[in-house]
Amino acid sequence: MTNARKLLEKFRSAKGEIKWIDLLALFNLLGFQKIEGEGSRVTFTNGDIIIKLHKPHPQKEVRAYAVRQVKQMLDNEGFI
């Protein structure tokens, strides 16, 4: 299994928090562009799809509610 496939499966099966670095790698894999905003704001774009998040701090994991929202959006748009 390739690293990309492992990352995608890890994200799909996530039930709670995931590492920020893993989410960045997933967005990169799916062709999203990262735009740094002010403070901890980060926007990811791919065509007309826009996902806005805050970098987690001081922890390094994205909260479960944000993972669910991203997962739902990516699923609705046919990315996963």
> Domain locations in the chain?
3-76
Instruction: Give the pair of three-digit tokens for residue 53.
Output: 């998040």
Please tell me the predicted confidence (pLDDT) of residue 46. 95
Going by pLDDT thresholds of 50, 70 and 90, the confidence category of residue 61 is very high
| Per-residue confidence (pLDDT) for residue 1, from 0 to 100 | 58
Cα angle 40, 69, 23; round to 5: 55
pTM score, two decimals? Answer: 0.87
Least confident of 4-13, 41-50, 56-65: 4-13
Q: What is the CATH number of domain 3-76?
A: 3.30.920.30
pLDDT in tens, 22-46: 999 999 999 999 999 888 999 999 9
The answer to whether 19 touches 61, Cβ cutoff 8 Å, is yes
How much is the pLDDT for 12? 86
| Separation between Cα atoms, residue 42 and residue 7, nearest integer Å | 21
